[in-house]
Copies of this chain bind each other. A is one copy, B any other.
Amino acid sequence: MDQVLRYIDRNKDRFLQELKRLIAIPSVSTNPEYKQDIKRCAQWIADHLSLIGMEKTKIYPTKGNPIIYSDWLQASGKPTILFYGHYDVQPAEPLNRWTSPPFQATVRGQNLFGRGATDDKGQIFIHFKCIEAYLKTMGKLPINLKILLEGEEEIGGKNLSKFIEQQKKLLKADLVLISDTAFFAKGVPSICYGLRGNVFMRVELRGPNRDLHSGSFGGSIHNPIQALAAMIAQLHDADGHVAIAGFYDDVRQLTRLERDTYRKLPWNDKRYARDLGVKQLYGERGFTTLERLWTRPTLECNGIWGGHTGEEARGLLPQKASANISMRLVPDQNPKKIAKLFETHLRKLVPKTVSVAIRCLTMAEPTITAIDSPGVRVAVVALKMAFGKDPLFQRDGGSIPIVNRFKQILRLDSVLLGFGLPDANEHAPNEFINLGNFFRGIRTVAYFYDELPKYLKNRGKNDL
Protein backbone atom coordinates (compact mmCIF):
# COMPACT_ATOMS: atom_id res chain seq x y z
CA MET A 1 0.00 0.00 0.00
CA ASP A 2 2.83 2.39 0.80
CA GLN A 3 4.21 1.89 -2.68
CA VAL A 4 0.82 2.78 -4.18
CA LEU A 5 0.54 5.94 -2.08
CA ARG A 6 4.11 6.99 -2.86
CA TYR A 7 3.45 6.50 -6.59
CA ILE A 8 0.44 8.81 -6.32
CA ASP A 9 2.50 11.48 -4.51
CA ARG A 10 5.40 11.26 -6.94
CA ASN A 11 3.21 11.66 -10.03
CA LYS A 12 0.86 14.47 -9.00
CA ASP A 13 2.06 16.95 -11.62
CA ARG A 14 1.76 14.46 -14.45
CA PHE A 15 -1.72 13.40 -13.28
CA LEU A 16 -2.85 17.02 -13.51
CA GLN A 17 -1.31 17.50 -16.96
CA GLU A 18 -3.17 14.42 -18.18
CA LEU A 19 -6.47 15.59 -16.68
CA LYS A 20 -6.01 18.91 -18.44
CA ARG A 21 -5.70 17.06 -21.74
CA LEU A 22 -8.94 15.17 -21.03
CA ILE A 23 -10.76 18.40 -20.14
CA ALA A 24 -9.40 20.01 -23.33
CA ILE A 25 -11.66 17.77 -25.44
CA PRO A 26 -15.03 19.61 -25.49
CA SER A 27 -17.25 16.53 -25.21
CA VAL A 28 -20.45 18.56 -24.87
CA SER A 29 -23.40 16.21 -25.32
CA THR A 30 -26.16 18.83 -25.29
CA ASN A 31 -25.09 20.23 -28.66
CA PRO A 32 -24.78 18.02 -31.79
CA GLU A 33 -21.98 20.25 -33.06
CA TYR A 34 -19.61 18.45 -30.69
CA LYS A 35 -20.28 14.93 -32.05
CA GLN A 36 -16.72 14.53 -33.27
CA ASP A 37 -15.32 15.72 -29.95
CA ILE A 38 -17.49 13.18 -28.14
CA LYS A 39 -15.99 10.43 -30.29
CA ARG A 40 -12.49 11.79 -29.84
CA CYS A 41 -12.98 11.90 -26.09
CA ALA A 42 -14.18 8.27 -25.96
CA GLN A 43 -11.13 7.20 -27.97
CA TRP A 44 -8.77 9.21 -25.76
CA ILE A 45 -10.17 7.52 -22.66
CA ALA A 46 -10.05 4.03 -24.17
CA ASP A 47 -6.42 4.57 -25.14
CA HIS A 48 -5.68 5.89 -21.67
CA LEU A 49 -7.27 2.85 -20.00
CA SER A 50 -5.04 0.57 -22.07
CA LEU A 51 -2.06 2.70 -21.17
CA ILE A 52 -2.61 2.45 -17.41
CA GLY A 53 -2.84 -1.33 -17.71
CA MET A 54 -6.50 -2.32 -17.93
CA GLU A 55 -6.71 -5.73 -19.62
CA LYS A 56 -9.54 -5.29 -22.04
CA THR A 57 -11.03 -2.05 -23.33
CA LYS A 58 -13.72 -1.67 -25.93
CA ILE A 59 -15.73 1.21 -27.35
CA TYR A 60 -19.34 0.24 -28.06
CA PRO A 61 -21.01 2.49 -30.60
CA THR A 62 -24.68 3.28 -29.91
CA LYS A 63 -27.36 5.22 -31.76
CA GLY A 64 -26.12 8.14 -29.70
CA ASN A 65 -22.73 8.58 -28.08
CA PRO A 66 -20.30 5.67 -27.61
CA ILE A 67 -20.10 3.63 -24.41
CA ILE A 68 -16.69 2.59 -23.08
CA TYR A 69 -16.27 -0.73 -21.32
CA SER A 70 -13.00 -1.87 -19.76
CA ASP A 71 -12.01 -4.56 -17.25
CA TRP A 72 -9.24 -6.10 -15.19
CA LEU A 73 -10.35 -9.47 -13.79
CA GLN A 74 -7.24 -11.23 -12.44
CA ALA A 75 -8.13 -11.06 -8.72
CA SER A 76 -9.54 -14.56 -8.55
CA GLY A 77 -11.96 -15.06 -5.65
CA LYS A 78 -12.05 -11.34 -4.88
CA PRO A 79 -15.12 -9.10 -5.23
CA THR A 80 -15.89 -7.30 -8.48
CA ILE A 81 -16.52 -3.56 -8.58
CA LEU A 82 -18.45 -2.02 -11.46
CA PHE A 83 -17.25 1.57 -11.70
CA TYR A 84 -19.59 3.92 -13.55
CA GLY A 85 -18.90 7.45 -14.78
CA HIS A 86 -19.56 9.75 -17.70
CA TYR A 87 -17.22 11.56 -20.04
CA ASP A 88 -19.71 14.02 -21.54
CA VAL A 89 -19.96 17.51 -20.12
CA GLN A 90 -22.39 20.40 -19.90
CA PRO A 91 -22.05 23.25 -22.42
CA ALA A 92 -19.64 25.96 -21.35
CA GLU A 93 -21.83 28.93 -22.30
CA PRO A 94 -21.92 31.74 -21.33
CA LEU A 95 -18.22 31.84 -22.20
CA ASN A 96 -17.70 35.43 -21.07
CA ARG A 97 -18.35 34.46 -17.46
CA TRP A 98 -15.37 32.07 -17.26
CA THR A 99 -12.26 33.55 -15.68
CA SER A 100 -10.09 31.12 -17.69
CA PRO A 101 -11.17 29.28 -20.88
CA PRO A 102 -13.45 26.33 -20.03
CA PHE A 103 -11.49 23.84 -22.13
CA GLN A 104 -8.03 25.03 -21.07
CA ALA A 105 -8.03 23.76 -17.52
CA THR A 106 -6.19 26.18 -15.26
CA VAL A 107 -4.99 25.94 -11.66
CA ARG A 108 -5.84 28.92 -9.48
CA GLY A 109 -5.22 28.58 -5.76
CA GLN A 110 -6.12 25.07 -4.65
CA ASN A 111 -8.51 24.43 -7.53
CA LEU A 112 -8.36 23.28 -11.14
CA PHE A 113 -10.89 25.20 -13.24
CA GLY A 114 -12.41 23.76 -16.42
CA ARG A 115 -15.62 22.30 -17.83
CA GLY A 116 -15.97 18.77 -16.48
CA ALA A 117 -13.32 19.27 -13.78
CA THR A 118 -15.78 17.88 -11.23
CA ASP A 119 -18.66 16.67 -13.40
CA ASP A 120 -17.42 14.09 -14.20
CA LYS A 121 -14.03 13.99 -15.93
CA GLY A 122 -12.05 14.95 -12.84
CA GLN A 123 -13.83 12.32 -10.79
CA ILE A 124 -13.43 9.44 -13.25
CA PHE A 125 -9.77 10.42 -13.54
CA ILE A 126 -9.40 9.89 -9.77
CA HIS A 127 -10.21 6.22 -10.41
CA PHE A 128 -7.96 5.96 -13.47
CA LYS A 129 -4.99 7.23 -11.49
CA CYS A 130 -5.68 4.86 -8.59
CA ILE A 131 -5.76 1.93 -11.03
CA GLU A 132 -2.53 3.10 -12.60
CA ALA A 133 -0.85 3.40 -9.20
CA TYR A 134 -1.75 -0.21 -8.33
CA LEU A 135 -0.86 -1.72 -11.68
CA LYS A 136 2.42 0.19 -12.11
CA THR A 137 3.62 -0.63 -8.59
CA MET A 138 2.02 -3.98 -7.58
CA GLY A 139 1.24 -5.28 -11.07
CA LYS A 140 -2.28 -6.09 -9.90
CA LEU A 141 -5.46 -4.76 -8.26
CA PRO A 142 -6.83 -6.05 -4.94
CA ILE A 143 -10.25 -6.43 -6.55
CA ASN A 144 -11.72 -7.25 -9.93
CA LEU A 145 -12.74 -4.11 -11.78
CA LYS A 146 -15.16 -3.36 -14.56
CA ILE A 147 -15.41 0.17 -15.89
CA LEU A 148 -18.49 1.51 -17.65
CA LEU A 149 -18.43 5.05 -19.04
CA GLU A 150 -21.15 6.80 -21.00
CA GLY A 151 -21.37 9.99 -23.06
CA GLU A 152 -25.02 10.90 -22.60
CA GLU A 153 -25.40 11.55 -18.88
CA GLU A 154 -25.98 15.28 -19.30
CA ILE A 155 -28.78 14.74 -21.81
CA GLY A 156 -30.53 11.86 -20.07
CA GLY A 157 -29.75 9.55 -23.01
CA LYS A 158 -31.42 6.16 -23.18
CA ASN A 159 -28.59 4.19 -24.78
CA LEU A 160 -26.80 3.18 -21.59
CA SER A 161 -29.97 1.61 -20.16
CA LYS A 162 -30.33 -0.45 -23.34
CA PHE A 163 -26.69 -1.47 -23.12
CA ILE A 164 -27.07 -2.62 -19.51
CA GLU A 165 -30.16 -4.65 -20.47
CA GLN A 166 -28.23 -6.31 -23.28
CA GLN A 167 -24.96 -6.86 -21.39
CA LYS A 168 -26.11 -8.16 -18.03
CA LYS A 169 -23.48 -10.90 -18.06
CA LEU A 170 -20.63 -8.62 -19.05
CA LEU A 171 -21.56 -6.21 -16.27
CA LYS A 172 -22.04 -8.80 -13.50
CA ALA A 173 -20.45 -7.45 -10.33
CA ASP A 174 -20.84 -7.18 -6.57
CA LEU A 175 -21.44 -3.49 -6.28
CA VAL A 176 -21.47 -0.30 -8.30
CA LEU A 177 -19.08 2.52 -7.45
CA ILE A 178 -19.86 6.05 -8.65
CA SER A 179 -18.01 9.33 -8.13
CA ASP A 180 -20.39 12.04 -9.30
CA THR A 181 -21.49 13.68 -6.05
CA ALA A 182 -20.02 16.25 -3.68
CA PHE A 183 -18.84 16.63 -0.11
CA PHE A 184 -21.18 18.41 2.28
CA ALA A 185 -18.56 21.16 2.52
CA LYS A 186 -14.88 21.67 1.94
CA GLY A 187 -12.93 19.58 4.44
CA VAL A 188 -16.04 17.58 5.35
CA PRO A 189 -15.80 14.14 3.70
CA SER A 190 -19.28 12.84 3.03
CA ILE A 191 -21.14 9.91 1.58
CA CYS A 192 -24.33 10.50 -0.37
CA TYR A 193 -27.07 7.97 0.36
CA GLY A 194 -30.06 9.60 -1.32
CA LEU A 195 -30.72 11.34 -4.62
CA ARG A 196 -33.71 13.19 -5.96
CA GLY A 197 -35.34 11.94 -9.13
CA ASN A 198 -36.56 14.26 -11.86
CA VAL A 199 -38.97 14.91 -14.69
CA PHE A 200 -38.03 17.36 -17.43
CA MET A 201 -40.92 18.89 -19.39
CA ARG A 202 -41.16 21.32 -22.25
CA VAL A 203 -44.13 23.63 -22.57
CA GLU A 204 -44.91 25.61 -25.70
CA LEU A 205 -47.74 28.11 -25.71
CA ARG A 206 -49.08 29.16 -29.10
CA GLY A 207 -51.02 32.32 -29.73
CA PRO A 208 -51.61 33.90 -33.14
CA ASN A 209 -50.53 32.04 -36.28
CA ARG A 210 -47.65 34.46 -36.89
CA ASP A 211 -45.57 37.08 -35.17
CA LEU A 212 -47.57 40.31 -34.99
CA HIS A 213 -46.75 44.00 -34.70
CA SER A 214 -47.50 44.83 -31.07
CA GLY A 215 -48.72 48.29 -32.03
CA SER A 216 -51.10 47.21 -34.74
CA PHE A 217 -52.41 44.14 -32.87
CA GLY A 218 -51.55 44.68 -29.21
CA GLY A 219 -54.57 44.83 -26.93
CA SER A 220 -56.76 42.57 -29.05
CA ILE A 221 -54.83 39.28 -29.05
CA HIS A 222 -53.55 37.43 -26.00
CA ASN A 223 -49.77 37.58 -25.87
CA PRO A 224 -48.46 34.02 -25.35
CA ILE A 225 -45.55 35.29 -23.24
CA GLN A 226 -48.00 36.88 -20.83
CA ALA A 227 -50.23 33.80 -20.84
CA LEU A 228 -47.20 31.60 -20.11
CA ALA A 229 -46.00 33.91 -17.34
CA ALA A 230 -49.42 33.75 -15.71
CA MET A 231 -49.38 29.95 -15.91
CA ILE A 232 -45.87 29.67 -14.43
CA ALA A 233 -46.89 32.05 -11.67
CA GLN A 234 -49.62 29.58 -10.73
CA LEU A 235 -47.27 26.60 -10.34
CA HIS A 236 -46.29 27.64 -6.79
CA ASP A 237 -48.47 28.97 -4.00
CA ALA A 238 -47.56 31.88 -1.74
CA ASP A 239 -45.82 29.52 0.70
CA GLY A 240 -43.51 28.09 -1.95
CA HIS A 241 -45.39 24.80 -2.25
CA VAL A 242 -45.77 23.33 -5.71
CA ALA A 243 -49.41 23.97 -6.59
CA ILE A 244 -49.98 20.87 -8.74
CA ALA A 245 -52.87 18.80 -7.41
CA GLY A 246 -51.58 15.51 -5.98
CA PHE A 247 -47.92 16.48 -6.29
CA TYR A 248 -47.04 15.67 -2.66
CA ASP A 249 -49.29 12.60 -2.28
CA ASP A 250 -46.49 10.02 -2.39
CA VAL A 251 -43.73 12.00 -0.68
CA ARG A 252 -42.12 9.88 2.03
CA GLN A 253 -42.20 11.83 5.28
CA LEU A 254 -38.94 12.50 7.03
CA THR A 255 -38.26 10.35 10.08
CA ARG A 256 -37.61 12.13 13.34
CA LEU A 257 -34.08 10.68 13.27
CA GLU A 258 -33.40 12.16 9.84
CA ARG A 259 -34.75 15.54 10.90
CA ASP A 260 -32.63 15.55 14.03
CA THR A 261 -29.54 14.41 12.15
CA TYR A 262 -29.88 17.09 9.49
CA ARG A 263 -30.43 19.80 12.06
CA LYS A 264 -27.15 18.92 13.76
CA LEU A 265 -25.12 19.28 10.55
CA PRO A 266 -22.78 22.25 10.31
CA TRP A 267 -25.01 24.50 8.25
CA ASN A 268 -25.46 28.26 8.16
CA ASP A 269 -28.29 29.77 6.13
CA LYS A 270 -26.75 33.24 6.18
CA ARG A 271 -23.43 32.03 4.84
CA TYR A 272 -25.22 29.96 2.17
CA ALA A 273 -27.23 33.01 1.07
CA ARG A 274 -24.12 35.19 1.06
CA ASP A 275 -22.12 32.66 -0.95
CA LEU A 276 -24.84 32.58 -3.60
CA GLY A 277 -25.29 36.36 -3.56
CA VAL A 278 -28.95 36.46 -2.58
CA LYS A 279 -30.49 38.71 0.02
CA GLN A 280 -32.95 36.10 1.14
CA LEU A 281 -33.44 32.36 0.68
CA TYR A 282 -36.61 30.94 -0.80
CA GLY A 283 -38.44 27.68 -0.42
CA GLU A 284 -41.27 25.68 1.07
CA ARG A 285 -42.53 27.06 4.34
CA GLY A 286 -42.05 24.63 7.23
CA PHE A 287 -38.77 23.09 6.14
CA THR A 288 -35.10 23.91 6.67
CA THR A 289 -32.80 24.51 3.72
CA LEU A 290 -31.28 21.01 3.89
CA GLU A 291 -34.71 19.44 4.13
CA ARG A 292 -35.81 21.49 1.11
CA LEU A 293 -32.75 20.39 -0.85
CA TRP A 294 -32.57 16.73 0.09
CA THR A 295 -36.03 15.58 1.05
CA ARG A 296 -38.60 17.80 -0.65
CA PRO A 297 -39.68 17.73 -4.28
CA THR A 298 -39.40 20.96 -6.24
CA LEU A 299 -40.44 22.54 -9.51
CA GLU A 300 -38.06 24.82 -11.40
CA CYS A 301 -38.32 26.74 -14.62
CA ASN A 302 -34.92 25.94 -16.18
CA GLY A 303 -35.44 28.17 -19.18
CA ILE A 304 -37.92 30.49 -20.83
CA TRP A 305 -37.92 32.08 -24.24
CA GLY A 306 -40.18 33.88 -26.66
CA GLY A 307 -40.42 36.98 -28.84
CA HIS A 308 -37.71 39.56 -29.38
CA THR A 309 -34.77 39.17 -27.03
CA GLY A 310 -32.34 41.59 -28.66
CA GLU A 311 -30.93 44.85 -27.40
CA GLU A 312 -33.12 47.17 -29.47
CA ALA A 313 -36.74 48.10 -28.99
CA ARG A 314 -38.89 45.92 -31.25
CA GLY A 315 -42.65 45.94 -31.17
CA LEU A 316 -43.41 42.25 -31.42
CA LEU A 317 -46.43 40.31 -30.24
CA PRO A 318 -44.93 36.85 -30.71
CA GLN A 319 -46.55 33.75 -32.09
CA LYS A 320 -45.39 31.57 -29.22
CA ALA A 321 -43.55 31.34 -25.94
CA SER A 322 -41.83 28.33 -24.42
CA ALA A 323 -40.42 27.09 -21.16
CA ASN A 324 -38.29 24.21 -19.93
CA ILE A 325 -39.70 23.13 -16.60
CA SER A 326 -38.33 20.35 -14.43
CA MET A 327 -39.37 18.78 -11.16
CA ARG A 328 -37.03 17.11 -8.67
CA LEU A 329 -38.64 14.12 -6.98
CA VAL A 330 -38.09 12.32 -3.70
CA PRO A 331 -39.05 8.82 -2.53
CA ASP A 332 -41.71 7.55 -3.13
CA GLN A 333 -42.82 9.81 -5.98
CA ASN A 334 -43.16 8.18 -9.37
CA PRO A 335 -41.84 10.25 -12.30
CA LYS A 336 -44.45 8.97 -14.78
CA LYS A 337 -47.28 9.80 -12.41
CA ILE A 338 -45.81 13.25 -11.70
CA ALA A 339 -45.42 13.97 -15.43
CA LYS A 340 -49.12 13.21 -15.87
CA LEU A 341 -50.16 15.33 -12.90
CA PHE A 342 -48.09 18.20 -14.30
CA GLU A 343 -49.67 17.94 -17.72
CA THR A 344 -53.21 17.67 -16.34
CA HIS A 345 -52.67 20.66 -14.07
CA LEU A 346 -51.07 22.77 -16.79
CA ARG A 347 -53.83 22.10 -19.29
CA LYS A 348 -56.33 23.40 -16.76
CA LEU A 349 -54.36 26.66 -16.53
CA VAL A 350 -54.31 27.31 -20.29
CA PRO A 351 -56.66 30.18 -21.21
CA LYS A 352 -58.93 29.78 -24.22
CA THR A 353 -56.99 32.44 -26.10
CA VAL A 354 -53.94 30.22 -26.65
CA SER A 355 -53.10 26.56 -27.13
CA VAL A 356 -50.45 24.42 -25.49
CA ALA A 357 -48.04 21.63 -26.43
CA ILE A 358 -46.49 19.69 -23.54
CA ARG A 359 -43.69 17.18 -23.95
CA CYS A 360 -41.73 15.09 -21.48
CA LEU A 361 -38.00 15.22 -22.26
CA THR A 362 -36.59 12.78 -19.72
CA MET A 363 -37.20 11.42 -16.25
CA ALA A 364 -35.41 9.63 -13.40
CA GLU A 365 -36.59 7.94 -10.23
CA PRO A 366 -35.48 9.11 -6.79
CA THR A 367 -33.22 6.76 -4.86
CA ILE A 368 -32.01 5.97 -1.34
CA THR A 369 -29.14 3.55 -0.56
CA ALA A 370 -28.97 1.57 2.69
CA ILE A 371 -26.28 3.22 4.78
CA ASP A 372 -25.29 -0.06 6.42
CA SER A 373 -24.51 -1.92 3.17
CA PRO A 374 -20.92 -3.26 2.96
CA GLY A 375 -20.02 -0.92 0.11
CA VAL A 376 -21.04 2.13 2.13
CA ARG A 377 -19.28 0.77 5.25
CA VAL A 378 -16.03 0.35 3.34
CA ALA A 379 -16.39 3.79 1.82
CA VAL A 380 -16.63 5.23 5.35
CA VAL A 381 -13.38 3.51 6.30
CA ALA A 382 -11.59 4.58 3.10
CA LEU A 383 -12.66 8.23 3.47
CA LYS A 384 -11.55 8.29 7.10
CA MET A 385 -8.14 6.88 6.18
CA ALA A 386 -7.63 9.37 3.34
CA PHE A 387 -9.10 12.49 4.94
CA GLY A 388 -8.39 11.80 8.60
CA LYS A 389 -11.94 12.21 9.84
CA ASP A 390 -15.26 10.40 9.91
CA PRO A 391 -17.40 11.20 6.89
CA LEU A 392 -20.95 12.34 7.35
CA PHE A 393 -24.00 10.94 5.64
CA GLN A 394 -25.95 13.25 3.41
CA ARG A 395 -28.45 13.26 0.62
CA ASP A 396 -28.19 15.30 -2.57
CA GLY A 397 -30.76 17.34 -4.42
CA GLY A 398 -29.49 16.22 -7.81
CA SER A 399 -30.26 13.07 -9.73
CA ILE A 400 -28.16 10.17 -11.04
CA PRO A 401 -30.83 8.26 -12.97
CA ILE A 402 -28.52 5.35 -13.71
CA VAL A 403 -28.44 4.34 -10.04
CA ASN A 404 -32.00 3.07 -10.43
CA ARG A 405 -31.16 1.21 -13.63
CA PHE A 406 -28.32 -0.62 -11.88
CA LYS A 407 -30.72 -1.62 -9.13
CA GLN A 408 -33.56 -2.66 -11.41
CA ILE A 409 -31.59 -4.41 -14.14
CA LEU A 410 -28.47 -5.71 -12.37
CA ARG A 411 -29.85 -5.85 -8.78
CA LEU A 412 -26.81 -3.89 -7.65
CA ASP A 413 -26.54 -1.20 -4.99
CA SER A 414 -24.48 1.85 -5.82
CA VAL A 415 -21.93 3.46 -3.54
CA LEU A 416 -21.86 7.21 -4.16
CA LEU A 417 -18.28 8.14 -3.34
CA GLY A 418 -18.09 11.65 -4.73
CA PHE A 419 -15.31 14.19 -4.31
CA GLY A 420 -16.94 17.39 -5.59
CA LEU A 421 -17.75 20.47 -3.51
CA PRO A 422 -21.14 22.15 -3.21
CA ASP A 423 -19.85 25.36 -4.82
CA ALA A 424 -17.91 23.64 -7.65
CA ASN A 425 -20.08 25.26 -10.36
CA GLU A 426 -21.06 22.09 -12.15
CA HIS A 427 -23.43 23.15 -14.97
CA ALA A 428 -22.21 26.76 -14.66
CA PRO A 429 -19.21 28.91 -15.57
CA ASN A 430 -15.98 28.41 -13.59
CA GLU A 431 -16.50 24.75 -12.75
CA PHE A 432 -13.57 23.46 -10.70
CA ILE A 433 -12.25 20.50 -8.73
CA ASN A 434 -10.45 21.06 -5.48
CA LEU A 435 -6.93 19.65 -5.81
CA GLY A 436 -6.93 18.38 -2.25
CA ASN A 437 -10.07 16.39 -2.94
CA PHE A 438 -8.64 15.17 -6.23
CA PHE A 439 -5.43 13.72 -4.78
CA ARG A 440 -6.98 12.49 -1.52
CA GLY A 441 -9.75 11.06 -3.70
CA ILE A 442 -7.18 8.86 -5.46
CA ARG A 443 -5.98 7.66 -2.04
CA THR A 444 -9.58 7.06 -0.93
CA VAL A 445 -10.24 4.81 -3.91
CA ALA A 446 -6.94 3.00 -3.24
CA TYR A 447 -8.04 2.32 0.35
CA PHE A 448 -11.47 1.30 -0.87
CA TYR A 449 -9.96 -1.33 -3.22
CA ASP A 450 -7.73 -2.55 -0.41
CA GLU A 451 -10.34 -2.67 2.33
CA LEU A 452 -13.28 -4.12 0.42
CA PRO A 453 -11.96 -7.72 0.22
CA LYS A 454 -10.83 -7.62 3.88
CA TYR A 455 -14.22 -6.40 5.06
CA LEU A 456 -16.05 -9.01 3.04
CA LYS A 457 -13.74 -11.78 4.23
CA ASN A 458 -14.54 -10.87 7.83
CA ARG A 459 -18.27 -10.66 7.22
CA GLY A 460 -18.57 -13.42 4.62
CA LYS A 461 -19.07 -12.44 1.03
CA ASN A 462 -22.79 -13.25 1.06
CA ASP A 463 -23.54 -10.15 3.07
CA LEU A 464 -22.69 -7.92 0.14
Contact = CB atoms under 8 A, between A and B. Distances in A.
Interface string A396-407: 111100000000
Number of copies: 2
Which 9 A-B residue pairs are closest in the complex by CB-CB distance? A209-B277, A215-B398, A303-B307, A222-B282, A200-B313, A219-B298, A229-B232, A233-B233, A211-B428
A313 B301 contact: no
A218 interface: yes
Contact of A426 (B30, B216, B234): B216
A162 interface: no
Given A223-B301, A281-B353, 14 more contacts: A30-B314, A216-B396, A216-B397, A220-B293, A222-B278, A230-B233, A279-B352, A279-B355, A302-B316, A304-B304, A305-B309, A309-B324, A314-B427, A316-B428
A6 B212 CA distance: 38
7 contacts: A30-B312, A212-B276, A214-B328, A217-B293, A226-B301, A228-B304, A309-B324
Interface of A: 29-31, 90-91, 97, 154-156, 182, 196, 198, 200, 207-223, 225-226, 228-230, 232-236, 272, 276-284, 289, 292-293, 296, 298, 300-310, 312-318, 321-324, 326, 328, 351-355, 361-362, 396-399, 422, 425-430
A326 B313 contact: yes
A352 B282 CA distance: 9
A199 to B, nearest CB: 9
A26 to B, nearest CB: 16
